[in-house]
Amino acid sequence: MRIVFAGTPEFSVPCLEACRSSGAEVVAVYTQPDRPAGRGRKLTPSPVKEAALAAGIPVEQPQSLKTVEARQTLAAYRPDLMVVVAYGLILSPKVLALPRLGCWNVHASLLPRWRGAAPIQRAILAGDTATGVDLMQMEAGLDTGPVLLERRTEIQHSDTGGTLHNRLALLGADVLMEGLCRTLAGETLPSQPQSGQGVLYAHKLEKAEAKLDFNKPGLALEHQVRAFDPWPVAEGEIAGENVRIWAAHAVTQDLSAHPGTVVEARRDGIDIACIDGVLRVTALQRAGGKRITAADYLNARPELRGAR
């Protein structure tokens, strides 16, 4: 079986390795064009491109797959299957029809919940207790195709956007490997059409969402902090100073303080009032600094110690 793999970020790399280990032949890798990155804004290849080049696989980086020339290049690889994992380009019906077995997508949610660009972070923001990955047969709609295989995982109270991302990347490779091995063995995977109920869209994250509003419940603020680690990182004000908040948890308690007020500051956490208690900040970052503990922050701002 000849596979063309399409993916771009780190999340996609385990799935590329699963394709290579399955017994299929990865004949080409499609990924986004190199982008400027870092302080020097140097053109930087995607993680998928780096993995493909290290494995000696041809790499294609078209700006679009909508042109006749782009489709001709893809067709020349004679793919039996195209595997798409966080590629970042829309595939037209003409592209979807090129491979003999069509196109598969590995999506980081339990469809139809959280179709779209940021399913991992949206699940944490919403307070979901479980999520997973779906292996889906692609069609023209956005993440609307029938599901072939699924893996589930619980969302732990300690999970951040980063830890859940890493776990789902491995689960995605696992479910893809099963699908490829069963197909290579001659099996036709059963497809389950998605329900029309429970559809939610995981819109792309915006940096403006990182600003914490202490007029919200503490648990909602905690979900923001966890979901936005490692990007874009929650932001809030502590006694007049804007900081990035890396770790915090909600504590329900009766108090009359105005939301946003520092009501207590100890080495194990800085309590900031919200509408139903406090958000206890345990790790943060000052402008131009690095991530530090609440204890280290109070060493720099001793006037806050023991504040009530």
Q: Which domains are delineated in the chain?
A: 2-202 (3.40.50.170), 208-304 (3.10.25.10)
Pick from 1, 48, 53: nearest CA to 23 = 1
Q: What pLDDT, on the 0 to 100 scale, is given for residue 307? A: 66
Asked if residues 129 and 155 have their Cβ atoms less than 8 Å apart, the reply is: yes
Q: What pLDDT, on the 0 to 100 scale, is given for residue 172? A: 98
Mean pLDDT, residues 161-169: 98
Asked if residues 175 and 106 have their Cβ atoms less than 8 Å apart, the reply is: yes
Question: Which stretch of 44-53, 173-182, 297-306 has the lowest confidence by average pLDDT?
Answer: 297-306
The backbone region for 162, taken as left when phi is positive above 0, alpha when psi lies in -120 to 50, beta otherwise, is alpha
The annotated binding site is made up of: 109-112
Rounded to 5°, the CA angle 78-82-87 comes to 130
pTM of the full structure: 0.95
Whether the predicted pLDDT of 306 surpasses 80: no
Pick from 205, 131, 198: nearest CA to 163 = 131
Q: What is the pLDDT of residues 12-42, one digit of tens each?
A: 999 999 999 999 999 999 999 999 988 888 9
Rounded to 5°, the CA angle 70-109-99 comes to 30
The annotated binding site for (6S)-5,6,7,8-tetrahydrofolate is made up of: 109-112
Q: Which residues contact 22 (CB under 8 A, 6 or more apart)?
A: 177, 180, 181, 184
Tokens of 48: 């998928």
Mean pLDDT, residues 210-219: 97
